[in-house]
Each structure stands twice: as C-alpha cells, then as structure tokens.
Structure 1
Amino acid sequence: MDVAGQHASEVRHLIDDATMNRFLAKIVFFSSGGSFLDGYVLSIIGVALVQLSSALSLSDAEVAATGAAALAGIFFGSLAGGRLTDALGRRTMFILDVVAIGLASLAACFVAEAWQLIALRLLLGFFIGADYPIATSLIAEFAPRRERAVAMGVVSGSWYLGATAAAFVGFGLYSVTDGWRWMLGSALVPCVVLLIGRHDIPESPRWLAQRGQVDKAREVLNRVFGEGVELEEEEPVRAGFGSVFRQGYLGRVVYLGLLILCQVVPMYAMYTFGPRIMAAFSLGEGSLAILGESVVSLFFLVGTVPAMFWLNSLGRRPLLIGSLALMAVGLLIPGLWPEAHLAVIMIAFGLYAFFSGGPGILQWLYPNEMFPTEVRATAVGVAIAISRIGVVVSTYGLPLFLDAYGIGPTMLAGAGLLLAALVLSVFMAPETRGLTLSEASSLSEKGNSHG
C-alpha cells in the first residue's frame, strides 16, 4: 500500500533507504534504554548476592533460585510481550513495561525473606522479557537498512553498558551498610529517565500500515523522516501466534532460539555469578572479585562497537561464525588450564567477551530481519523464550555444578555450547546484509540465502 499518498513532484524513497536524523536517533537511543535496564537489573543481582546471601541467610538452592527467577520471568514475558506487541502495537507496551520494572525494583529494597526476593525477580524478568520484542521491533521498523546493524548494535551495547554500570554501582555500594538494598532499588533511576525520553516516541508506521491505519502511518513517517518517505507495498495481514511455526518460519525460529541459548548461557553465568566465578580463579573474595567482573564486562561493551560496523562490511554470517569460534577459544583456555596465571585467565575472558559483540547484536538483529511485520515481535519473543528455557536451567544449576565439579569443567561446558552454536550456524545462518525488511523476511531464496 502507498502510505505516503500520491507521488508528488519531489523524489520519493522507501523507509529502508531513508537517512538517519536526530529524531530517529532519539527513537533508537530511548528504545535501547530497555536493553540497558535489562543488563542492569539482571547483573546487579550478581553483585548484591555477595551481601544479601548472608543478610537473608540464603541457602544454596535459594541463591540459585534468586539468580534464575528473573530468567524464568523473561520466558513468560517474552512470549506474552511479543504477542501483545503485534496485537496492540509497539508503543502501548513500550511505556507500561518500564513503569512495572521501576515499581518492582523499588519494592525489592524492602524484602525481608527469600521468597519475596525471588517473587520480585520473577516479576522483573517478566517485564524485561516483554521489552525484548517491543523495543527491537520498533527500532527495526524505523531504521533504514544501512543503519539497522548499527541501531541493533546500540541495543546490544546498551545491555553491556547496563551490566557494566551495575558492576561499578555494586562495587561502590559494597561497603555501605545494607548496600544490597540500594543496589536492587537503584534501577528506579534509569526507569524514570526512560519514561521521560519515551513519552513522545510514536507508533511504528509499518505496524500502523499493516493494521490499515494509512493516514496515521503517513503522519508518523512525515514526523520522523519528513516529506518524501514511504513504505513498501504490503497487503494487510492478520496473523496469530501459530504463524511463526508455519513451514519456512519454523526452521528459522528454532535456529534462532538454539543460537541465542548457546550464546547467552555462558554470558548470563558470567554476569549472574561473576564474582563467584572470579573467586574460583583465585581473584580473591568480595570487592576484588567484583572489580574483576567489571573489567570483563568492559570487554563485552567495547567489543560491540566494531562489531556493529563489521556486520555491514563483513556480513552477518561470516562475523557470526568467526566470532563464535573465537569465543569458544576464550572459554576453552580457562577450562583446560584453570590453574593458569591470572593474567592468562583475564586475557582469555577478554577474548571471549570482546568477540561476543557480533553474536550479541545478532540475537536482536536476526529475529527482526527474518520475520515479517505482522509476526515480528511474536517471533522475537518466541526465539528469546526458547533460549531462556536452557538459561533458566543452567543458571539454577551453575552454582551446584560449580561446587560439584569445579571451575574447569564449568568453563568447558560453556565452550561446548559455543561450539554447538558454531556448527549450527555453519549450516543454518542466513546472510541478510543489504536487504530490506521485506526481502530479509521473505521465504524466497533471496530472503533465506546462506551466501
């Protein structure tokens, strides 16, 4: 459909070929704030657990449940949020989930028993999971094709920035009495900032067009891009939850779920139980172990910057395969040689974290490129949910596995997952560089190329 009206005398072009402007940059920035919150909320618990384990007299099982609760919430939140986002629109959920995250974070300051903390972490995870499909589908549907990888790079980088900020905030509050309460409640601050920044971000014009709201889609396009920008012609389609499992898309959603699972299980282990892992490598206890985790977190963040440009210059598929191989090497070294000098261990972790940049971006970019507008958010939610099944189990089991088998086998298990993702990607990873969203999500040979 022509959502921009009749062609005028001026040159017109598709939204995929538009240029970046200040308002579009604002959309990307504040949409990425949900990813920042995600990284912050999920990572601050790893630092807070150092104090609150004794403060609340948590057992090993309760520590594991506290770490896994948010991830379990993400499973349900990503499924529900994805479906609601496709049904009700991106913007409605865009505001509600940040309000809920802020209130749950504030409530966490006042917990007195383990079950209260676990329940709040479950609730936090639900709304964090909902933000995955909301924010990334909104960004993908606004971003021109040349800027899509960079825009999703900002999303991925925001996660690592939030995680890094959490590590340093935790380090600063570690010596404060009941510092863990301030750590858990501190997420309220970025929530307030996000609500202010998100209040005037409009609905996705692609979603409006799919719903037949042509005039509103035209208004949004003119507001964000100015005159002369239009969407590709698409027939309005109403699709249910089961549409992401139909022939063609089923293989894509299963691949993405398994890819993200293998990639994020080691990463979440590093962030949720980072100080404990660092202590296992003789980095010491308490603040020194937290500082070690903070350094590794910086490598995650720094690696995102070149990766967002390599995704365009090298392509999605080659960068993914090469990065997974180097990430696996980064975990194999401490797995096979856990008694190595601390410098060797930190270099290995740095290698793993730095090259996580490309796959970290692709966990957001691939699902949004490989599915059409009518089910885009649903597909993101399903892929994330599949991955979180494994993440919940592994996060709950990690401290138990670590106690039973030691740090070496724990690192080897993480390396094994990355090698599995590598083999899977060699056979199934598509190349979507340079394609419009319609081309990338098509089931035709061009839209599903491995070349």
Structure 2
Amino acid sequence: MSDAAEPGTIRTRIPARLDRLPWSRFHWRIVIGLGTVWILDGLEVTVVGAIAARMTQSDSGIDVTSADIGTAAALYVTGACLGALLFGQLTDRLGRKKLFIATLGLYLVATVATAFATDAWYLFLFRFLTGAGIGGEYAAINSAIDELIPARNRGQVDLAINGSYWLGAAIGSLGTVVLLNTALLAPDLGWRLAFGIGGILGLAIMVVRRNVPESPRWLFIHGREKEAERIVDGIEAEVAAETRRPLRPPGESITVRQRRAISFREIARVTLARYPNRTVLGLALFVGQAFMYNAVTFDLGTILSGFFNVGSGTVPYFMAAFALGNLLGPLTLGRLFDTVGRKPMITATYLGSAVLIGLTAALLLIHALTATTFIVLVCLSFFVASAGASSAYLTVSEIFPMETRALAIALFYAVGTAVGGITGPALFGQFIHSGRTGLLALGFLIGAVAMVMGGVAELIFGVRAEQQSLENIARPLTAEEADREPAEQQALRRAERERDLSPEDRRRADERDLRVRERSSRNHDRETAGLRRLRPGPARSSSYSPGMIGNAGTASRWNAVSNQELDREIDDIAQTVEKRGTCSKDELAERVGARTWGPGRFSHALAQATREGRTRRLHRGVYRSGSGSDRERR
C-alpha cells in the first residue's frame, strides 16, 4: 500500500518511536526473517569447497575439472560484488522489502538450479546468479535490520547476525561428511543434495520474511508517511500488548523534505565528498577483513593437509572447529560494542587479532606448531577477528545517510571483496604451492598488517555510534534540505512548538536545558584535561544550546540528543528516589523501566545522578534522595 499525496516537508517521530521500543517478538521476527541469510552464505561457500573434489570425479554426473571449480568460485565472488552494487542501488530507490524478497528469490532459484548441473557452462551461470543473490542480500538486509532494530541493541544484534555466517559454515562442514559418504548416497547424488539443502532453508526463511514490514524510515523519506505511521502504530500496539506496560515517550522528532528519488550522482557525492574520512574508514575495515578471511577460509584445508599432514577425511572437523570459533566471537563480544563502545572495541578486535595472527606467523617460522596447536591458535585469532569483521558491516551501515545506506554497504562490500577477497586467496595459494613454511608465515604477516591498517583507521576516523539513533550519526539528506528553510520559517516552527507547552512544561524544559548545558561544560573540561585531550578520533562538542538539535551538524546534534536523553534518565531516577525515600538499585531499575533504556545506560545515569548530588548511595546498593543540588560534587 502506498500514499498518493505529493512529497512535502514533514516532521516525524518515527525514528525515535522505533528506537525506544523494548525487545519483543517483533524483533525476533526481524532477526529470523532477515538475519538468517548469512547462514545460507556460510553454507554455500563451505559446501562448495567440501564437494569440489567429488564433482571432478568421473562418476559425479557433471563434466568439470579442478580449473572449472576454481572458475565457478571466482564467478560466485564476481556475482556477489556485482549483485551487491546493482541491488544496493535498487534497495535505496525501490525500498528494502521489495529487494530483500527479490534477492532471496534469486538465490533460491539459482542454488536449486545448480543441483541439476551437468556441464561447466551451466555451473558457471548459476554460481554467478547465486552469488548475485547473496551479494544483493548483504545490501538489502543490513540496511533493513539497522532501520528496524532499536539503537541500544543495534551493535549486538548486527554482530550476531553477521557472525551467523559461521553457523552455516559449521553445518556445511559437518553435513558434507554425510552427503559425500558413498555408502549412503550415490556419487552423483550427494553433492546435488548439498545444493538442495540451501534451497530448502531459503524457502523456510522466505515464509518468515513475508511478514517483515517495509522500513518505516525509508517510507517517510519517500513520501509515504501515512503508511509508515500505520506500520509503526501496529508495531507499538503489538509490543505494548506483549510487555503489558505503557511505552516510554519517544524522543526528538526530525524534519525532512520528502523526495521520491535521489540521483546516483548525489548519493556518490555525499558518500565520497562529504564523508571522506568515513569512506577511508569503511575501505580499511572491509579490505583488511576480506583479505585475511578469504585467504584463510579458502586455503585452510590445503594448509592442514600440505603442512601438517591432516587427512582429507579429518579436515571437515578442523573446519567445523574454525567455524565455531568464528561464531562465538560476535556472540560473546557483541554486547560490548553497545556498552564499551564501537571505537574501542573495533580497534581492539582488529589490533588484537593482528597480534595473534602475527604470533601464529612467528611460531610457523620456528616450526613450533602441530596441527592441533595451529588450529587452536587460528581459532583464537579468528574468535577476536570475527567480531571485528562483523563490525565492518555494522560500521558502514551506520555512518552514512539513510538514502545512501544500502548502496554504501554494497560499495564497500564489493570493493573490499574485490581487493582483499581476490588478492588474499591468490597470494596465499602461491605461498602454499611453494611448500615453504617461511612463505606461509609471510602470508600470515601480510594478513596481520592488513588488520592493523583497519584498526589504525578506526582509531583515527572511528565514529562513536553506540546507542545512537541512525539519524543522529548521519543526518538524512532530506533532513538537511529541510534545515535549509528560511530562518523566519524555522523561528515560526519553534514558536509553534513552544505554544504547545504548558507553563509547567516550559519551566521544566528550561531547567533541563540549564542542567544539560552545565553538564556539557563539565564533560568538556574533563575531555580537554590531561592526557584525555590527546585521544585520536572525532572530537565531542564543547557546547550545548536548545536550538542546536534543529540547526547543528551531525556531531553537535548527536551530542545534544544524547545529553537530553541522559538528563531525562537522571530526572526519572531522581524523582523516583525522592518519592520512595530509599530504594534499592534493582527496585529503582524496575520502577524507572530501565530495561528499555539499553545496556549500561541505567548504571551510567545512576552514577551521574549520584555525582551531581541528586541521589546518594547509602549501603549495599541502596539509594536515597540527594541534597537537590544540580552541581557536581568535586
């Protein structure tokens, strides 16, 4: 359903309404319907690598050579890159839902068709189309997920979803042990069923995906705000009925000038010219992880058999262990990207994995590794690296305006895969073919350097995006157009909003502005004192004013919204403690509804309220009202 009204300038709270929702069954539908496609990608890549040798045998039912298998793999990667670019642009133009249905449909048809291959050309064609479907999924799915998942959970959910690739890889590794067992299945049947399994899983995902709505964020920007409002109304009603408590009032609204379409030239200009540092960051993160991952993933079996004499029948078990380590990384570390923060965690995972990979290279040089110790060290290295690699997709989906989001994901995925994903396996393949351990160690050292480059780029250009609305991290182009309204119109809008406030609400708003201004000043003094002033990366805003939300740039707007939200949380805590007299920390969290605030936010707000004297800690986590002063205790 679409709205017939012509695009205009509107003010909406849809982003704030979506971001303040508590976790619910609706969000699980998003994860299952959209996120599980990475399992299919992991399954595809692993299965093809495992069944390649069987397909080249004379009784396999298909006339292909080892060279043909390599060509098919290259065409799969090429299809993924081109599919990401094509479908990424269409996703931004036509909508998230149309494209995540179309790309999954293409994958389903192509992977099932591959099971009926009898000649090399047929295999080439449908491997290319399968890759195109998977590449399109990366763009359509990442953008849709980020626009539907609440800001406080976005990092953890994104990392877990991207890391689920390795669940598919583990299933593929163990599944091929059964499918290639000639005692159970004929030589010309087992490899065909391997492709069929992907189609069955994809069909089950399609059933769930049909119930996932279009992104309300995409709808209101493209002139379909009534449809966006209906979707959000339905989501809120479902979540409220499930949680059985009223929803927290939404935060700030945003003004946008709607447009039906935005030209590719404008999107490219914004991505490359307006955000050059973010462009460098995205490229560094993607190239680094693509080089290391594709090199090791494609060549791990050859390394095990060629350098550690591991039998071909045992390799799938080592591959399953490698996949398990990669899966556990994002699941274990993902929450820290929302609490500790994007910048420290991405830097730590890239640099930390580089150190472990470098250690692996050093031990290879002195021949100090066995097959077991080698795979243990590789698993540990990629346990850390996997969280970092998954965060590359999270980063580029957050740091560019909504109108460019899908294309940005597609562009960085395609470039990263083309540069790192092709050169990595090619270089490692030559080193492995030489049979020299020194060259293999050199390959790992080059991979470590690539990861270091990603970590350094994050340290310098990283964006503090944790628990922030997407619109605050990178303002939509249409919102910036609305901000260019004449000053008289902006003043009129502000006056209209103020007239809607009662005297009491206006008084409380003024008090909040004063508290936020003083808190911002104190925080700025801390940020610029001592060694803290030498920290690299984007600086925080040093001032606050009530009008900055509608008129300031992204960085100032981001801090303004963050400070106002923090003040609301502190105010909730102070008022609750004042009413109760004394209150335990757990009881206080329950009464203010801290579960909906996001990881770590309640503890931070409570600590800030105590520092400012609005609450006082007695003993064993019991708090009472403070002196009422808003001044920070020194």
With normalisation by structure 1, the TM-score equals 0.90
Mark the CA change 1:171 to 1:87 in structure 2 (over 3 Å): closer, same or farther. same
Q: 2: CA distance between counterparts of 1:189 and 1:382?
A: 30
Q: Is residue 37 from structure 1 mapped to residue 43 from structure 2 by the alignment?
A: no
Mark the CA change 1:422 to 1:361 in structure 2 (over 3 Å): closer, same or farther. same
Q: Alignment partner for residue 72 of structure 1, among 74, 78, 81? A: 78
Mark the CA change 1:392 to 1:73 in structure 2 (over 3 Å): closer, same or farther. farther
Mark the CA change 1:396 to 1:186 in structure 2 (over 3 Å): closer, same or farther. farther
CA offsets, 1:15-63, max 9 Å, x none?
2222221112211221102222222212221112232244567655434
1:99 is displaced (CA, Å) by 1.6
> Is the Cα–Cα contact under 8 Å of residues 97 and 128 in structure 1 kept in the other structure?
yes
SS at 1:276's partner residue?
helix
Q: What amino acid does structure 2 have at the position aligned with 1:156?
A: N
- Cα RMSD, aligned residues only: 2.5
1:434 is displaced (CA, Å) by 2.4
Q: Quote the residue 2:406 is aligned against.
A: 377
Q: 1: CA distance between counterparts of 2:148 and 2:98?
A: 17
CA offsets, 1:387-412, max 9 Å, x none?
12111343455434421364333323
Q: Quote the residue 2:295 is aligned against.
A: 269
Q: Quote the residue 2:255 is aligned against.
A: 233
Mark the CA change 1:115 to 1:276 in structure 2 (over 3 Å): closer, same or farther. farther
- Aligned-residue sequence identity (percent) comes to 22
Q: Quote the residue 1:87 is aligned against.
A: 93
Q: 2: CA distance between counterparts of 1:186 and 1:270?
A: 25
CA offsets, 1:409-430, max 9 Å, x none?
3323322321222232222222
Q: Quote the residue 1:278 is aligned against.
A: 304
> Is the Cα–Cα contact under 8 Å of residues 275 and 293 in structure 1 kept in the other structure?
yes
- For structure 1, which segment, 44-53 or 311-320, has the greater mean C-alpha deviation from structure 2 after superposition? 44-53
Q: Quote the residue 1:367 is aligned against.
A: 396
The number of residue pairs the alignment matches comes to 443
Q: 2: CA distance between counterparts of 1:3 and 1:37?
A: 37
Q: 2: CA distance between counterparts of 1:173 and 1:412?
A: 36
- For structure 1, which segment, 305-314 or 149-158, has the greater mean C-alpha deviation from structure 2 after superposition? 149-158
Could you tell me which runs of 5 or more consecutive residues in structure 1 were left unpaired when the two chains were aligned. 6-11
Mark the CA change 1:378 to 1:36 in structure 2 (over 3 Å): closer, same or farther. same
Q: 1: CA distance between counterparts of 2:448 and 2:135?
A: 26
Q: 1: CA distance between counterparts of 2:170 and 2:443?
A: 23
Q: Is residue 404 from structure 1 mapped to residue 430 from structure 2 by the alignment?
A: no
Q: 2: CA distance between counterparts of 1:432 and 1:446?
A: 13
Q: Alignment partner for residue 188 of structure 1, among 184, 193, 199? A: 199
Q: 1: CA distance between counterparts of 2:118 and 2:24?
A: 48
Q: 2: CA distance between counterparts of 1:218 and 1:23?
A: 16
Q: Quote the residue 2:209 is aligned against.
A: 198
Q: Quote the residue 2:582 is aligned against.
A: none
- For structure 1, which segment, 40-49 or 195-204, has the greater mean C-alpha deviation from structure 2 after superposition? 40-49
Q: 2: CA distance between counterparts of 1:62 and 1:253?
A: 36
Q: 2: CA distance between counterparts of 1:18 and 1:204?
A: 15
1:101 is displaced (CA, Å) by 1.0
Q: Is residue 49 from structure 1 mapped to residue 49 from structure 2 by the alignment?
A: no
Q: 1: CA distance between counterparts of 2:268 and 2:150?
A: 24
Structure of greater relative contact order (alpha carbons < 8 Å, 6+ residues apart): 1
Mark the CA change 1:308 to 1:211 in structure 2 (over 3 Å): closer, same or farther. same
> Is the Cα–Cα contact under 8 Å of residues 15 and 144 in structure 1 kept in the other structure?
yes
Q: What amino acid does structure 1 have at the position aligned with 2:201?
A: P
> Is the Cα–Cα contact under 8 Å of residues 397 and 405 in structure 2 kept in the other structure?
yes
Q: Is residue 392 from structure 1 mapped to residue 422 from structure 2 by the alignment?
A: yes
Q: 1: CA distance between counterparts of 2:151 and 2:442?
A: 42
Q: Quote the residue 1:8 is aligned against.
A: none
1:273 is displaced (CA, Å) by 3.5
> Is the Cα–Cα contact under 8 Å of residues 80 and 134 in structure 2 kept in the other structure?
yes
Mark the CA change 1:411 to 1:180 in structure 2 (over 3 Å): closer, same or farther. farther
> Is the Cα–Cα contact under 8 Å of residues 84 and 137 in structure 2 kept in the other structure?
yes
Q: Quote the residue 2:384 is aligned against.
A: 355
Q: Alignment partner for residue 174 of structure 1, among 157, 175, 180? A: 180
Report matched runs for 1:311-326 at 5 Å: 311-326=337-352
> Is the Cα–Cα contact under 8 Å of residues 282 and 396 in structure 2 kept in the other structure?
yes
Could you tell me which runs of 5 or more consecutive residues in structure 2 were left unpaired when the two chains were aligned. 1-9, 241-246, 476-552, 560-634
Mark the CA change 1:119 to 1:212 in structure 2 (over 3 Å): closer, same or farther. same
